[in-house]
Every structure is written in structure tokens, then in C-alpha cells.
Amino acid sequence: MTSEYIIQFFTEAIMLALMLSLPPLMLGLVVGVIIAVFQTVTQIQEQTLVIVPKMVAIIGGLLLFGSWMLNQIVNYTVSVFNTIPHIPG
């Protein structure tokens, strides 16, 4: 197993993890910014006002993008298992 192969394997895994985590995190970020602007305008500084909408946005993002995320994970796993016999020694 060469170092180039290992670097490529972990690079693909990290890129997949970043790609899969981006939709829910971006939704949480957008909702957090909107709530922060609302809190600034109304001068309501309640911490629990931020958490619930963010959780709802992230769960909604997981429900919305969940099938795509699962499909990406399954495709990556299948490709990893298919390359096991061809790993350079």
C-alpha cells in the first residue's frame, strides 16, 4: 500500500464528509444569522430563541437532503469495497 494511495483514500473520505455535512450546517448558519439579526433589531437577547429554530432547520435539512446523503455514502462505500482487491501491495 503506497502513501499516494493512502493520501488519495483519506482525501476522498474527508471531501465526502465535508460535502455531506455542508447542507445541514449551512441551513443552521443561515437560520442563526437571521435570528441574530432579529435579536439585534428587537433587542431580545434570549439564548433559547436561537437553539430551537437552528435545530428545526438542521433536522429539516437532514430530512430534505437525507436520501442524497445516504446515496453518496453508499456509493462511496461500494467503491471502497470494489477497490480492495486492487490495492497496490
pTM exceeds 0.85? no
Cα-to-chain-centroid distance, residue 78:
20
Question: Rounded to an integer, what distance in angstroms lies between the CA atom of residue 8 and that of residue 12?
Answer: 6
Q: For the chain, which residues make up each domain, given as ranges?
A: 3-84
Residues 6+ apart with CB under 8 A from 65: 23, 24
Predicted confidence (pLDDT) per residue in 48-57, tens digit: 788 999 999 9
Predicted confidence (pLDDT) per residue in 11-62, tens digit: 999 999 999 999 999 999 999 999 999 988 988 888 778 899 999 999 999 9
